[in-house]
Amino acid sequence: MSKPLEGIKIIDFTHVQAGPACTQMLAWFGADVIKVERPGAGDVTRSQLRDIPGVDALYFTMLNSNKRSLTLDTKTAEGKEILTKLIKESDVLVENFGPGALDRMGFTWEHIRELNPGMIVASVKGFSEGHHYEDLKVYENVAQCAGGAASTTGFDDGPPTVSAAALGDSNTGMHLAIGILTALRARDKTGKGQKVAVSMQDSVLNLCRVKMRDQQRLDRVGYLEEYPQYPHGSFSDVVPRGGNAGGGGQPGWVLKCKGWETDPNAYIYFTIQGHAWAPICRAIGKEEWIDDPAYMTAQARQDKIFDIFAVIEDWLKDKTKFEAVDILRKFDIPCSPVLTMKELANDPSLRASGTIVEVDHKERGKYLTVGSPIKFSDLKVDIKGSPLLGEHTDEILESMGYSQQQIAALHERRVV
- 374: Cα within 13 Å, side-chain hemisphere: 10
Measured from the CB atom, the residue of 201 and 372 that comes closer to ligand CAO is 201
In whole angstroms, the minimum distance from the beta carbon of 53 to ligand CAO comes to 23
* C-alpha to C-alpha distances, 218 to 176, 212, 234, 235, nearest whole angstrom: 32, 10, 12, 9
* CA–CA dist 153, 159 (Å, integer): 9
Taking each helix axis as running N to C, give the angle between helix 170-190 and helix 200-207, from 0 to 180 degrees, rounded to the nearest 10: 100
Closest residue to ligand CAO using C-beta atoms: 98
Q: What SS3 class is residue 252?
A: strand
Least Cβ distance, residue 396 to ligand CAO (angstroms): 14
CA dist 296 and 277 (Å) reads 7
Please say which residue, 121 or 324, places its beta carbon nearer to ligand CAO: 121
CB of 8 to ligand CAO, least distance (A): 21
- Name the residues that contact ligand CAO, by CB under 6 A: 16-19, 36-38, 72-75, 96-98, 101, 104-105, 124-126, 137-140, 169
CA distance linking residue 2 with residue 66, whole number of Å: 15
- Candidate list 56, 169, 202, 214, residue with the active-site label: 169
Closer residue to ligand CAO, CB minimum distance, 152 or 170: 170
CA separation for the pair 371, 353 (Å, rounded):
9
Of 142 and 266, which has the nearer Cβ to ligand CAO?
142
**Minimal distance in Å, beta carbon 125 to ligand CAO?**
5
Q: Please provide the DSSP assignment of 93-139 as one string.
A: EEE-PSTTHHHHTT--HHHHHHH-TT-EEEEEESS-TT-TTTT----
Q: How far is the CB of 70 from ligand CAO (least distance, A)?
A: 9
Radius of gyration of the chain (CA): 26
Residue 314 among the catalytic residues: no
CB of 14 to ligand CAO, least distance (A): 8
Nearer to ligand CAO, 121 or 283 (CB): 121
Look at residues 31, 92, 96 and name the one whose alpha carbon lies nearest to residue 65: 31
What DSSP designation does 256 have?
E
Cβ proximity to ligand CAO: between 141 and 302 the closer is 141
100-125 exposure pattern, b = at least 16 Cβ within 10 A, e = fewer: eebeebebebeebbebbebbbbbbbb
Q: How far is the CB of 142 from ligand CAO (least distance, A)?
A: 8
**Residue nearer to ligand CAO on the CB measure, 124 or 359:** 124
Asked if 122 and 179 count as a contact pair (C-beta separation under 8 A), the reply is yes
240 preceded by a cis bond (ω within 30 of 0): no
Q: Are 202 and 144 in contact (CB under 8 A)?
A: no
Long-range contacts of 104-113 (CB under 8 A, 24+ apart): 105/74, 105/75, 105/80, 106/80, 107/74, 107/83, 109/195, 112/87, 113/193
The residues assigned a catalytic role are 169
